[in-house]
């Protein structure tokens, strides 16, 4: 009886040990992630050409390892660093990268780097971003960086798109916080102040010129109006002089005569209307 109990207890313990020590387990690949199966032993040791879809995956933990990579957008805020332009000016850059992984290239990424994604971001990707900024900065002067900011950033993005995309990292967006050196910032502020003062002076000059043109136009208009009026009066006078004949003058005099003869120094009333029949 005692022997049977001992055998039973031993068997139970062995079953528990087997259940605990058995190598088969599973991994849940969440949505927005892909997993890769890595063989730890055998002739095909390494990364299988299999990309596991989302869901529960069973595998032998003694001979196989599952690595999970997120394929949704990742946002990485890198530490600021210094770049040098062609004329030896130093700018501080504080980049923030948004990217995602091409699911089909996850096995290739692990084969090449053999690191978790976090380490890849702070290793290969960080160096790639820093190099892109430094390479592009060498082709710009300090003034051109500030005056052609969009062109500068577009070139950096083109380098990153090409370099990261080749290894399976899909570039989405890059935010750059570019800070010029204090001396250059002061020069830029002074230049902007000078430009604003010049534009203000030009606007005032244009306004004064426009007001002067209005005054001149009004004066010319008044002068033309006066001249036209004078010409009209002169022409009217000339016309009157041409039409005032002696007969017309006598007729006008008769029409206005009140019947009283004018008195002259010769005495008496005398008719001045001589020759009127």
Render pLDDT for 105-125 as a digit per residue (tens, 0 to 9): 888 888 888 888 889 999 999
What domains are there in the chain, each with its CATH number? 13-70 (no CATH), 74-180 (3.30.479.30)
**pLDDT > 90 in the chain, percent:** 26
Residue 269: predicted pLDDT: 47
Residue among 43, 44, 47, 41 nearest 61 (CA): 41
Is a pLDDT exceeding 50 seen at residue 274? no
> In the predicted model, what is the mean pLDDT of the chain?
78
Query: What is the spatial distance between Cα 15 and Cα 176, in angstroms, rounded to a whole number?
Result: 60
Is a pLDDT exceeding 50 seen at residue 276? no
């Amino acid at each position: 009886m005692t022997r049977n109990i001992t055998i039973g207890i031993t068997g139970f313990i062995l079953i528990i040990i087997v259940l605990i020590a058995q190598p088969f387990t599973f991994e849940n690949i969440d949505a927005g992630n892909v997993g890769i199966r890595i063989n730890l032993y055998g002739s095909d040791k390494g990364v299988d050409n299999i990309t596991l879809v989302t869901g529960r995956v069973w595998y032998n933990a003694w001979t196989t390892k599952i690595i999970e990579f997120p394929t949704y957008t990742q946002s990485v805020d890198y530490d600021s660093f210094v770049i040098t332009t062609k004329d030896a000016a130093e700018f501080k850059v504080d980049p923030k990268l948004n990217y995602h992984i091409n699911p089909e290239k996850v096995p290739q990424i692990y084969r090449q780097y053999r690191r978790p994604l976090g380490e890849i971001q702070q290793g290969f990707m960080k160096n790639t971003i820093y190099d892109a900024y430094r390479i592009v900065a060498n082709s710009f002067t300090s003034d051109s960086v500030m005056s052609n900011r969009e062109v500068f950033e577009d070139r950096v993005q083109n380098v990153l798109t090409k370099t990261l995309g080749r290894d399976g990292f899909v570039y989405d967006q890059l935010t750059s916080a570019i800070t010029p050196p204090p001396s250059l910032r002061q020069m830029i502020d002074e230049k902007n102040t000078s430009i604003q003062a010049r534009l203000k002076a030009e606007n005032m000059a244009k306004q004064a010129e426009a007001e002067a043109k209005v005054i001149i136009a009004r004066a010319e208009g008044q002068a033309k109006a006066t001249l036209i009026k004078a010409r009209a009066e002169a022409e009217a006078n000339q016309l009157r002089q041409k039409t005032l004949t002696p007969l017309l003058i006598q007729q006008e005099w008769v029409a206005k005569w009140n019947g009283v003869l004018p008195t002259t120094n010769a005495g008496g009333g005398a008719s001045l209307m001589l020759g009127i029949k």
